[in-house]
Amino acid sequence: SSMAKLSIADLMQEVAGFALELLGPEALLEEGTGPLRGRVAAFQRASVATTISGGAAEVQRTVIAHRELGCRR
């Protein structure tokens, strides 16, 4: 579960970053005004929220290290 949360959060942020590179700053315009009618802006916000709501990335990495890799505390 921790690995999935971390992977999805990282992937979402990469996709959002790529979309911003591809479409430029106009991609951050809100609904109905920019490219893709604000969907990129909404996805970018969701990618940040996913990282926060899934637990901080460092916390998830620590959980993975302890549970999955058997690292000691």
pLDDT in tens, 19-49: 989 988 888 887 777 778 888 888 888 888 8
| pTM for this model (two decimals) | 0.67
pLDDT, one tens digit per residue, over 48-62 is: 887 776 567 777 777
Burial 31-49 (b: 16+ CB within 10 A, else e): eeebbeebebbebbeebee
Look at residues 57, 51, 34 and name the one whose alpha carbon lies nearest to residue 42.
34
The answer for residues whose C-beta is within 8 angstroms of residue 8's C-beta and 6 or more apart is: 50, 54
